[in-house]
Amino acid sequence: MRSSKVVSVLALVAALVGTVASAPAAGAAARSTTCRVTLYDLDAVNVGESDGRDEFQLLVDSYFYPNGWVGMRARDDADPVHFDNVSTTIGTTGIESFALREVTPPILGSGTSYGAISAYGGTCATLSRGQDHIYREILSGYDETYYEYEIAIKMTGL
């Protein structure tokens, strides 16, 4: 009879240890299931047009932002407000691109691609709710002349 009590106590202790081991750590944040992706910054290092000025829109989710265009010269800085604070959401498996398009006003059309920066769902899956991740990329090439832009997006876990 005594051994059955010991076995029962040991079984109870093992069950409690298993429960504690599988419980989340105190203060551990929940992982996000989606992320908000926003333009964080766009810096002109060198412009691609021979007149020294590029005019841009961002192509995100099949829409162009802003409604007009953003003009930039070398060393200019554009912020989210210049592109209508464009944002989108992404799940933990998708990809969302922010494509920089050089347009020719007054007829904007789809413009010339200067490249894109992409947000990946795999990165979103690593973020806790409310946690931010800023990703930067250099977009460069030749249009009329050599161009180089540093673009950054911010992912926020939701």
Closest CA to 70 of 61, 60, 80: 80
| Whole-angstrom distance, CA of residue 157 vs CA of residue 34 | 6
Tell me the two tokens of residue 137.
């990329």
Tokens standing for residue 86: 């464009």
Which tokens hold the place of 53? 């000025």
- Domains of the chain by range and CATH? 34-157 (2.60.40.150)
Query: Residue 70 pairs with which residues in a beta bridge?
Result: 56
Each residue's pLDDT tens digit, 139-156: 999 988 899 999 999 999
Contact between 110 and 14 (Cβ < 8 Å): no
The answer to whether the predicted template modeling score (pTM) of the entire model surpasses 0.85 is no
Q: What's residue 105's pLDDT?
A: 85
Q: Which pLDDT tens digit goes with each residue over 34-45?
A: 999 999 999 999
Give the CA radius of gyration of the chain: 25
